[in-house]
Amino acid sequence: MNVRTQDTLINIMLYGVMAAVLLFFYIPIFTLMAFSLQEGRYLTLPFDGISLKWYGELLNSGPALTALRNSTLIAAFATVIATAVGTTAAIVSVRYRFRGKAAFQALTGAPLAFPQLLLGIVLLLWFSVLGRLFGFNTGLVTAIIGHIVYITPFVMVIVAVQVHNFDPQLEDAARDCGASTWEVYRHVTVPLLWPGIFSAAIFAFLLSWGNFYITYSLAGSTRTVPTFIFSGIAVGSSPLYPAIATVVFIPGLILVALAARMRRARA
Amino acid sequence: MEQGVGKSWRDPELLWKALPSVLLQTTCFVAPLVMTFLLTFQRTRDFQLRWTWDLATWTDVFSKPHYWTILGHTLVMALACVAICLVLAFPIAYGLATRFKTLENEIKILVTFAFITDATLKTFGWVLFLDKKGAANYLLTGLGFPPEMVSFLFTDWATLLGMVYNLLPFAIFTLYLSIDSIDRNLIFAAYDAGASKWRAHWEVTLPLCKPGIFAGSVLIFLLGVGVFLEPKVLGGGTSPMSAELIRQTFETRVNWPLGAALTFVLMVVSVFLVLLFSRVLGMRRSGFGA
Amino acid sequence: MIIRGGAIGPPPFCFNGGSKRDMTSAPILDIRDIHKDYGSYQALKGVSLSVRQGEFIALVGPSGCGKTTLLKQIAGFEDATSGTISIDGRDMAGVPAAHRPTSMVFQKLALFPHMTVAENIGFPLKLRKVAQGEIAARVNEMLTLMQLKPIYLDRFPRALSGGEQQRVALARSMISSPKLLLLDEPLSALDVKLKKVLQSELKRLHRSVGVTFVHVTHDLEEAMMLADRICVMRAGHILQLGEPADIYYRPADAFVAGFIGETNLFPVEITSRAKGRVRYSAGSFDDASGELPEALVAEAAQGAALMNVRPELIRRIGPEDKVDCRVTARVTEVFTKGGTVQYRAHTSQGMDLAVEIQGTSRLPMEVGEEVHLGWNKKDIWVLPGGEP
């Protein structure tokens, strides 16, 4: 077999696997989108008819809208804080050499490889004990804290890549040009790390927005979109749930495309 | 190349940058873990925690084979998931890093989006697809196949499918990063030395992305051991896995010490297996995931 | 034409003391006994150096000798462990880099990739809150000075060639009218041809603006070409400070002699020094007189010493020719190198020699040939013994 045919064969094989896996990834997503258009009450095929009825229903559903609002609120707070903390941690773990660096990296990266459900449970125990001591219940705030713990390591890893490609001499150059510490950050460090920070923030928002496990453990009686849907699966669903799901996909798609564009603009 | 500026902990710059993450992870990760461990030495009576400091919970854990059967089942599922994910992810990561030049960005966006979308939604989507009256069977009968061909929803196979589905992106990302960072010249050097494509692949590419394979496997294994959604929703709760058991212990039985102890058993056994695996692969120095 | 004219006439902007060079006044840069430790590693072990206004000084040495560390201390990126640095009579202790009257051209240039050329050059003035209009005017002056085309102003640094990027980096360093321009091997990454162009460019710039230049390089030829004085460093010490010819023909020790270019070091034994004559015995070559003028012998040379004979001082002689020192050797290798030919020869005393002869020499040598080589006691130098 000559090299060229061999090459073509490999390409066909790789593209084939790729296409199959992409199809696999999108089966449930397309299924949900399709079912959201079911006119009837039940999630069975064939459909009674095609309509956007359940989207209208969604707008009138108090619990669904509250869940959307809670998701957004938690994700917004968690994103801002996790991005700030994760960015500084990335700078520390890439740029500096100091005693206990390995321990620092292990500590800040550990939640990445910790099952979310267990993280949720462990934090639930912690907040229950603390709550009994200081008189508070789990709710929005504890959910936000849990999300921050889970998301910060992701931010750190993403920003670390950007920090790694950043030439620290540029900061010296800025200082040499007469910039104060603050001006170095404003004019050089932040603008140059921005693509990484921005993608990390988007990633963080989406991870938080779609998080089920931690919210489930820590949000108390507060419902977010994922926990709302989970309860819906248990109770016996109507096309309302696929409709929410479809709505939830849209901002995710936009943000991911935006982040990819930012990354490309950087290069 | 040694990169980085030497800093002492007395340097305020290091302090204010490192402190937030250190505080966050010590108060909200390490401290809760320590407390969970301490809880295993207590008891519950009438759904109330009693601070007794004894080993009753641990004797219970070690005397009931039921817990260990579930743990074994969990580990087998997680390992199966790791194996399937690696096999599926390798061609994709390799293609992304070396061949899919024109569609690279589009593929990355599609994979990222699938990854980032809420697992609950996608798992729910699978239920709708795999159900006896779901989309798959509807499409297949439409094509002339006998009815209800797809009938593995609420079995371990469905659970496994869900796990692979939700964890595969982790394998793709870690493998992609490690293949992408391989110096292409090394592979050309292998060709130059007379190696065939397959041989170059086998002798150069694979060994060089060992750290990526290791990181991906560890990540998937640790996350796979802790899945709860897939066995519950797709497996229908018919054969519970550890996370489900732990969840029930806390929620239904309100037995915190037992739940804490089971959490610890799961953690210790998984970490032990990871260390064993790293020995086998000869990866003594690479840390977890990050 | 016009561009050059502007640079040759009076400078289009005014630097402090740019036009008149006062060699007698207080030094512009005064470094006293600087030590710098990184943990247990001593990068600088007591360096003192005084630089005059308008001087072009080169710091040379192998990597790890402390030259870049010294430059960082001057620029203010790092604090010295002990010792003082004053610039223009002012002690710089505790003065951050941003407030020092110095400007650095970095090895990798450190142009800001997210700023256009104009923004890069104007950045120091922007930080000093200079009005927009004035910044634009000064940026244009710099452009003229550096012979850059105005169309580059709105481009990003990565769209420029290596040489153009160098000019932008220089322009950015010069725009704030520094008293000291610090250059950290900025030419080391360029190809030979471009390097030559930029070297003469630097020389021209130095002449036209009259700013003091401190140039770090490991390229000796570059230092010889550019600098008024060269400071040779090794392992955190200054080994020798002097004019290029001094360093080349009168190196302080075997290390400097070898670092500064290929040379031959013949072991000799100094037996006595008196009345302007030095008596010595040469083991590795023949010198019938057994004497040296004292001017050719380093003061520190006592007992076992080394005679430094540059390859170009050695020539081929006939057996009857009169020269001060002679040796017989077998030619082992020949390299033709443009206008000159380099030889390696093995002497009958067992030494390997480097010999450089004009390509047009009437007496070319062949590999394997047994030849007589000789040199006169002029431009040779006897330095203290020790391992080369």
Reply yes or no: is the peptide bond before residue A46 cis, omega within 30 of 0: yes
Kindly determine whether residue A14 and residue B99, on different chains, have CB atoms separated by under 8 Å: yes
For every residue of C154-187, DSSP letters joined together read GS-GGGS-HHHHHHHHHHHHHTT--SEEEEESTT
| Closest alpha carbon to C294 in C272, C264, C313 | C272
Cβ count within 10 A of residue C386:
12
Contacting residues of A for B100, CB less than 8 Å apart = 14-15, 18
Cα gap B51→B4, rounded to integer Å: 48
Residues of A in contact with B129 (CB under 8 A): 27-28, 31
Statement: residue C19 has pLDDT above 80: no
pLDDT, residue B282, reads 64
Sign of CA dihedral C240, C245, C248, C250: negative
| Band (B4; pLDDT cuts 50, 70, 90) | low
Token pair belonging to A213: 């496990």
Res C136 pLDDT > 80: yes
Task: Supply the pLDDT for residue A81.
Answer: 95
Question: Quick check: is C129 in a domain?
Answer: yes
Phi-psi region of B49 (alpha: psi -120 to 50; beta: other; left: phi over 0): beta
Q: Burial, A133: exposed, middle or buried (Cβ in 10 Å; 0-12, 13-18, 19+)?
A: exposed
Distance between CA atoms of residues C285 and C292, nearest Å: 14
Domain final position from C249, C270, C296: C249
The answer to the question of residue B16 being in a domain is no
Whichever domain contains B230, its CATH number is 1.10.3720.10
Instruction: Flag if B125 and A96 touch (Cβ within 8 Å).
Output: no
DSSP-assigned letter for residue A50: B
- Is C237 in the same domain as C306? no
Is residue C272 domain-resident? yes
For residue C18, being part of any structural domain is answered with no
Q: Residue B46 falls within a domain, yes or no?
A: no
Residue with tokens 């061949």: B99
Best mutation target among A98, A166, A177, A198 (most C Cβ atoms within 10 Å) is: A177
The per-residue pLDDT for range B82-124, each reduced to its tens digit, is: 999 999 998 888 888 877 777 777 788 788 878 777 778 888 8
- Residues A27-38: what's their mean pLDDT? 85
Give the CA distances from residue C240 to residues C58, C257, C304, in Å, rounded to whole numbers and listed in that order. Answer: 12, 11, 21
C271-326 pLDDT, tens digit per residue, is: 888 877 888 888 788 887 888 888 888 888 888 888 999 888 888 888 788 888 88
The predicted structure's pLDDT at residue B2: 40
Structural domain boundaries enclosing C346: 254-316+325-384
Q: Which residues of C touch A169 (CB under 8 A)?
A: 106-108, 110
Query: Using an 8 Å Cβ cutoff, are B32 and A123 in contact?
Result: yes
Measured between CB atoms, which of B121, B127, B290 is closest to A248? B121
Which residues in chain A have their CB less than 8 angstroms from residue C99's CB? 178
Give the pLDDT confidence score for residue B286 in this predicted structure. Answer: 43
- Domain containing residue C102: CATH number: 3.40.50.300
Chain B positions touching A89 (Cβ under 8 A) are 17-18, 20-21
What's the whole-number average pLDDT of chain B?
81
| C258 and C223, same domain (yes or no) | no
Residue B77, both tokens: 């599922």
Scan residues 186-205 of A and list those with Cβ closer than 8 Å to C.
187-188, 191-192
CA-to-CA distance for B229 and B247, rounded, in angstroms? 11
Same domain, C42 and C135: yes
Is there a single domain that holds both residue C209 and residue C347?
no
Distance CA A142, CA B90 (A): 39
CA distance to A94, A179, A260, B280, C378, per residue, from A162 (Å): 10, 22, 14, 33, 60
Task: Dig out the tokens for B178 from the structure.
Answer: 């490690």
The residue ranking higher by pLDDT, A80 or C280, is A80
Question: Searching chain A, which residue's CA lies closest to the CA of residue C74?
Answer: A176
Flag whether pLDDT at C13 surpasses 60.
Answer: no
Q: What are phi and psi of C309, to 5 degrees?
A: -125, 110
Are C237 and C344 contained in the same domain?
no
Same domain, C309 and C365: yes
| Cβ-defined contact of A113 to B222 (cutoff 8 Å) | yes
Does a structural domain hold residue B21?
Answer: no
How many other C-beta atoms can be found within 10 angstroms of the C-beta atom of residue A101? 15
Mean pLDDT in residue range C164-184: 91
Residue C16 lies in a domain: no
Q: Are residues C268 and C172 in the same domain?
A: no
**C218 three-state secondary structure:** coil
Query: What is the percent of chain A with per-residue pLDDT over 90, rounded to a whole number?
Result: 13
Based on the fold, state whether residues C295 and C189 are members of the same structural domain.
no
Burial of B193 (0-12, 13-18, 19+ CB in 10 A): exposed
Does residue C131 sit in the same domain as residue C241? yes
Q: How many domains does chain C have?
A: 2
* CB distance B172 to B92 below 8 Å: yes
Two tokens at B23?
A: 């505080």
Torsions phi, psi for C95 (to 5 deg): -90, 120
pLDDT at residue A227 above 80? yes
Torsion sign (Cα): C104, C107, C111, C117: positive
Domains of chain A: 62-266 (1.10.3720.10)
The one-letter code for the residue type at C90 is R
The tens digit of pLDDT for each residue in C75-91 reads: 988 888 899 999 998 89
Choice between B280 and C9, residue whose per-residue pLDDT is larger? B280
Q: With beta carbons less than 8 A apart as the criterion, state whether C335 and C341 touch.
A: yes
Interface list for B 91-120 with A (CB within 8 A): 91-92, 94-95, 99-100, 105, 107-114, 116-120
What is residue B285's predicted lDDT score, i.e. its pLDDT? Answer: 46
- For the cut 50, the answer to whether the pLDDT of residue A80 exceeds it is yes
Beta bridge partners of C229: C57
The band of C121, judged by pLDDT with boundaries at 50, 70 and 90, is very high
Task: Answer yes or no: is pLDDT of C388 > 60.
Answer: no
Strands C325-337 and C370-375, sheet pairing: antiparallel
Angle, CA C242 vertex, CA C239 and CA C248 arms, to 5°: 85
Task: Report if residue B26 sits inside a domain.
Answer: no
Q: How confident is the model at residue A79 (pLDDT cuts 50, 70, 90)?
A: very high
The answer to whether C327 and C347 have CB atoms below 8 angstroms apart is: yes
> What pLDDT score does C56 carry?
93
Token pair in block for residue A262: 């930012």
C-alpha span between C80 and C49 (Å, rounded)? 15
pLDDT at C362: 63
| Model pLDDT, residue A266 | 53
How many domains does chain B divide into? Answer: 1
pLDDT, position B290: 34
Q: Average pLDDT of chain C?
A: 84
Looking at C197, C215, C249, the residue that finishes a domain is C249
Helices (H) and strands (E) in chain C, counts: 9, 20
Would residue C359 count as lying in a domain?
A: yes
**Residue of A17, A92, A113 with shortest CB distance to B18:** A92
Instruction: Identify which has the larger pLDDT, C185 or B49.
Output: C185
Q: Which of C198, C228, C249 is the last residue of a domain?
A: C249
Chain C nearest C-alpha distance from A141 (Å): 39
Whether the pLDDT of residue A147 is over 70: the answer is yes
**Treating both helix axes as pointing N-terminal to C-terminal, what angle do B104-116 and A3-35 enclose, rounded to 10 degrees?**
40
Mean pLDDT of chain A: 83
Is A192 close to C113, i.e. CB distance below 8 A?
yes
**Mutation target among B5, B127, B128 for the A interface, most CBs of A within 10 A:** B128
- What is the pairing mode between strands C212-217 and C180-184? parallel
Say whether A44 and B133 touch across the interface (CB within 8 A). yes
Question: Is the pLDDT reported for residue B287 higher than 50?
Answer: no
ipTM value: 0.79
Q: Least CA distance to A161: which residue of chain B?
A: B177
Chain A residues in contact with B20 (beta carbon < 8 A): 84-85, 88-89
Position C14 pLDDT exceeds 80? no
> Which residues, other chains included, contact B269 with Cβ-Cβ below 8 Å and sequence gap of 6+?
B71, B75
**Single-letter residue type at C247:** I
CA distance C6 to chain A (A): 26
Considering the domain architecture, whether residues C176 and C274 belong to the same structural domain is answered as no
Q: Is the pLDDT of residue A133 over 80?
A: yes
Tokens representing C240 are: 């020798």
Nearest to B47, CA basis, from B252, B286, B268 = B252
The reply to whether C153 and C29 lie within a common domain is yes
Q: Which helix (H) or strand (E) holds C335?
A: strand C325-337
User: What value does the mean pLDDT take over residues C46-59?
Assistant: 91
Tens digit of pLDDT for each residue in C246-278?
888 888 888 888 887 788 988 888 888 887 788
Give mean pLDDT, residues C140-152. 88
Taking the C-alpha atoms of residue C74 and residue C78, their distance in angstroms, rounded to an integer, is 9
- Given a cut of 90, whether residue A112 has pLDDT beyond it is no
Helix A53-60 × helix A240-266 angle, to 10°:
90
